[in-house]
A = this chain, B = another copy of it.
Amino acid sequence: MPERPPTHRYPDNREAILRSALDLFARKGYAGTAVREIVEAAGATKPVLYYHFKSKEGLYLEILRQAMERFRADLTVLTRGGGDAETGLMRLCGQLFVLFRENLQVVRLVHAALVGPPQGGPPFDFKRFHEELVKGMGWWVDEGIRRGEFRDGDQASMTIAVYGVFSLAVELELLSGECGIGREGLSAAMNVVFEGMRAGDSASL
């Protein structure tokens, strides 16, 4: 008879609380969400929450920590891969866009914590989110310049231009009421930017 673990290390209650907390924090904000709401939605009770996460802040930090972990793993994969820089950059942005759209709740939570008021929530190293995105896109721009695909001399501005379009596309998905431009809209707008980055075009700068 195989050994069973003496106790469940991650019981259903813990996962249920994480899920309903993510949902509520994303919809009502950290300060706007009561612990009572979270445990009711999860079908649990308050002491269970405090047992697993020690405090409301601990729960919040655990959600963000998990989100950061998953995001970094995906970003690492998407920065690899062959092909020319324009294709790689388009693939990176396109797949990140899909990933973000499939996890809008997390994106809303992190975005709010990045640029919004901290709402009394605990501090967290959010800027790494932003910095790693810039680094991932900047890597492809560097590649493009090195290979002669993109014009030389304006790496930072090109990265900002690409990142700006990507960032806006994501934010439009966050707006309520179907303002989003979708992946097709993102590709079209990125093509406008690429048009201004390609080497060989008349550079009147």
A-to-B contact residues, CB < 8 Å: 25-32, 108-109, 111-112, 114-121, 127, 130, 154, 156-158, 160-161, 163-169, 171, 174-177, 179, 181, 185, 188-198, 200-205
Contacts and interface: CB of A to CB of B under 8 A. Distances in A.
B130 A189 contact: no
18 contacts: A27-B118, A30-B32, A108-B115, A111-B115, A112-B112, A154-B188, A157-B189, A157-B191, A158-B189, A160-B192, A161-B161, A161-B189, A161-B190, A164-B164, A164-B169, A164-B189, A191-B196, A202-B202
B120 A179 contact: no
Given A195-B205, A196-B197, A175 B114 contact: yes
Given A31-B29, A161-B165, A171 B115 contact: yes
Given A157-B188, A189-B161, A118 B195 contact: no
B157 A164 contact: no
Contacts of A115: 108, 111-112, 171, 174-175
Contacts of A176: 127
Contact of A185 (B111, B118, B157): B157
Contact of A192 (B25, B117, B120, B158): B158
Question: How many copies of this chain are found per oligomer?
Answer: 2
A157 B31 CA distance: 38
Closest 10 CB pairs of A and B: A196-B196, A195-B196, A164-B168, A29-B119, A112-B116, A31-B31, A164-B164, A32-B120, A29-B117, A31-B32
B202 A161 contact: no
Contacts of A168: 160, 163-164, 167-168
A115 B120 CA distance: 18
A25 B121 CA distance: 14
B127 A177 contact: yes
Contact of A127 (B30, B171, B175): B175
A119 B26 CA distance: 9
